[in-house]
Amino acid sequence: MSAATQYTPSRDDFAALLEESFLTNEISEGSVVKGIVVAIEKDVAVIDIGAKTEGRVALKEFAGPNRDQTVSVGDEVEVYVERIENALGEAVISRDKARREESWVKLEKAFEANERVNGTIFNQVKGGYTVDLDGAVAFLPRSQVDIRPVRDVTPLMGVSQPFQILKMDRRRGNIVVSRRTVLEESRAEQRSELVANLEEGQVIDGVVKNITEYGAFVDLGGIDGLLHVTDMAWRRVNHPSEVVNIGQTVKVKIIKINHETHRISLGIKQLLADPWEGIAARYPVGAKLKGRVTNITDYGAFVELEPGIEGLIHVSEMSWTKKNVHPGKIISTSQEVEVVILEVDQVKRRISLGLKQTLQNPWEAFAELHPVGSEVEGEVKNKTEFGLFIGLENDVDGMVHLSDLDWNRPGEQVIDDFKKGDMVRAQVLDVDVEKERISLGIKQLGGDPFAEAGEIKKGQIVTCEVLEVKDGGIEVKIVDTDLSTFIKRNELARDRGDQRPERFAAGEKLDARVTQFDRKARRVTLSIKALQVAEEKEAIAQFGSSDSGASLGDILGAALNKAKTDKK
């Protein structure tokens, strides 16, 4: 064929050939492509990505946790194309971004499938750590490192291990992972297997792993059980450290297993005989014995009678006389005390004890020494609206009611004559041992004026001595008696003009008529007016009437003269 007939490609043929070459090695920005390392220059690698295009990648991008840090000429690598051509005519490529893009695709699939991924902790940041997930960097919060807080993470760094992806945000480039979740799942699987091999009632050896205020955690060979403080011993245990120590091997009994939560309850006391069996026979009601105070509360004190057996002394059973006092002011912890068995309840595992019952009831002792009618002396402890409280021997109090303070004056007035600290004498009126009450009387020491007044009757004329003159009348005392009463103003005279209290003076003696005398109600009423009216009637009856022509003055004068003659 001649040169004239040789084939020459057209413009269209050339365009097709160029497009074909692009299709065979398509390069676009934002994509990951394969390239060949064609040269190593200082700290960069020159990579041919095809289409007569080369780019440069820093050698440090080939380094990383658990990755080979070297690259050689001829190696095939994947790179990320940021720009096809820069000002120097070279492609802008990145090995890190290529690895990151590839890793994100794998991680998203694992996240959707809820699968674990492998990674390496390589740095510490605020609030946690950074993890390399084969190119993608994830954040590991401090709380997600382990099941329990870890002080030193150094042994975990640089070690490839599984993680669970908790959160992914590709737009922001955020990945949050957890190592704790993986450990918990593995632990749960192990626990399920271990729990399946355990049975309630089984006796097993364990090691005390941790001690708290409420009990101890015992390692049963990969799974922990709780030994509660109440299941450590039949006796009262104030703190678990009294019974067990960390690292100690103990023999325990499995009390309960919760297969859903994998919680195991353990007991030591269940391996020993129950001391409450036959308790009523060993501690009969009324028996007196000694014990040691183990605990004091606001409502009483617990006393250990034997190992595993405690009884309660209620605050009301501590003292006969000290009421509303904290038990700690009567007895102290570790003190040995003598008590009396008051009640035993084997079902509820309760024993009621009495401390005061070991001593004689002070009210019984008082009644024996001071029978009704005897005289006692004591200090005024308190004054109330209804009487006085008198302190007596053995810390008991007696009460003098207002009505027992004085025979004549109202108690509300008489009580003002007394003050705290006064020593007074009184008579025992009544002793109620059951109700713990002693009734006293002060007025009874002076005798009852009504009982000693003799036969005073209504209408009788008595001689009185004026004790006090008041605006409303006069206070008088019947001569030769201890009876006193008040004569009102309108009873001082027959005539209104003479009904003036100031006519009388203290110490003056006068006659009056008894208008009322009620021994039961303890009431006596006198009237001078009634006496004058009675004398007038008697004079009229004896010496004449108004119809005889004699005046009232004549009649009274004759009556007075007769009275004087009779006296002579």
**DSSP string of 438-499?**
EEEESGGGG--TTTSS-S--TT-EEEEEEEEEETTEEEEEETTSS-EEEEEGGGS-SSGGG-
What pLDDT is attached to residue 558? 58
- Is residue 210's pLDDT more than 90? yes
pLDDT of residue 51: 64
Query: Exposed e or buried b for every residue in 29-43, given b needs 16+ CB within 10 A?
Result: eeebbebebeeeeee
- The per-residue pLDDT for range 234-248, each reduced to its tens digit, is 888 889 999 999 999
Checking if the pLDDT of 21 tops 70, the result is no
Domain covering 114-184, topology: OB fold (Dihydrolipoamide Acetyltransferase, E2P) (2.40.50)
pLDDT of residue 6: 44
First to last CA, the chain: 204
Q: Which residue would you say has higher pLDDT here, 477 or 545? A: 477
Note whether 416 and 379 are within 8 A (CB).
no
CATH among 3.30.70.20, 2.40.50.140, 3.40.50.970, 3.40.50.620 for 35-104: 2.40.50.140
Domain 198-271 has CATH 2.40.100.10: no
In total, the chain counts a number of residues equal to 568
Q: Are strands 461-470 and 509-518 parallel, antiparallel or unpaired?
A: antiparallel
Amino acid identity, residue 274?
A: D
- pLDDT, greater one: 69 or 220: 220
Number of other residues whose CB lies within 10 A of the CB of residue 45: 25
Is residue 164's pLDDT more than 80? Answer: yes
Nearest to 274 by CA among 302, 237, 240, 306: 306
Q: What is the pTM (predicted TM-score) of this model?
A: 0.48
Amino acid making up residue 484 = S
Amino acid present at 552: L
CB 386 within 8 A of CB 437: no
CATH code of the region 461-548 = 2.40.50.140
pLDDT at 154 over 50: yes
Banded model confidence at residue 301, pLDDT cuts 50, 70, 90? very high
Query: CA–CA separation, 164 vs 430, rounded Å?
Result: 86
Q: Which 8-state DSSP code applies to residue 59? A: G
Q: Comparing 87-91, 256-260, 356-360, 411-415, which segment has the lowest mean pLDDT?
A: 87-91
Sign of CA dihedral 307, 311, 312, 318: negative
Q: Mention every residue, 6+ apart, whose C-beta is less than 8 A from residue 88.
A: none
Query: Residue 445: phi, psi to the nearest 5?
Result: -70, -25
Mean pLDDT of the chain, nearest integer: 83
Higher pLDDT, 567 or 123: 123
pLDDT band of residue 529 (cuts 50, 70, 90) is: very high
How far CA 485 is from CA of 46, 408, 478, 514, in Å, comes to 135, 8, 8, 11
The angle at the Cα of 61, spanning 55 to 67, to the nearest 5 degrees, equals: 130
Q: Treating both helix axes as pointing N-terminal to C-terminal, what angle do 528-543 and 552-567 enclose, rounded to 10 degrees?
A: 100
Distance (Å, whole) CA 170 – CA 190: 35
The domain 369-446 is placed in CATH, from the list 3.40.309.10, 2.40.50.140, 3.30.565.10, 1.10.1330.10, at 2.40.50.140
Region 458-473 average pLDDT? 91
The helix (run of H) or strand (run of E) holding residue 16 is: helix 11-24
pLDDT for residue 1 is more than 50? no
Highest-pLDDT range among 37-51, 59-73, 482-496: 482-496
CB count in 10 Å sphere of residue 115: 12
Mean pLDDT confidence for 497-510: 91
Residue 190 confidence (pLDDT): 75
Q: What is the pLDDT of residue 17?
A: 45
At 562, the pLDDT band (50, 70, 90 cuts) reads low
Q: Does domain 284-358 have CATH number 3.40.109.10?
A: no
C-alpha distance from residue 171 to each of 116, 141, 405 (Å): 22, 20, 98
**Mean predicted confidence (pLDDT) in 459-470:** 91
The share of the chain scoring above pLDDT 70, in percent, equals 85
Measured in whole angstroms, the distance separating CA 489 from the mean position of its chain's CA atoms is: 67
The whole-number pLDDT of residue 96 equals 64
Amino acid making up residue 528? I
The yes-or-no verdict on residue 4 having pLDDT over 50 is no
Domain with CATH 2.40.50.140 in the chain: 35-104, 114-184, 198-271, 284-358, 369-446, 461-548
E-assigned strand segments in 259-374: 263-267, 288-297, 300-306, 309-314, 336-345, 350-354
Question: Stretch 105-132: mean pLDDT, rounded?
Answer: 89
Residue 439 near residue 396 (C-beta atoms within 8 A): no
DSSP summary character for residue 157: B
Mean pLDDT of 414-440: 93
Q: 313 pLDDT band (50/70/90 cuts)? A: very high
Over pLDDT 90: what percentage of the chain?
46
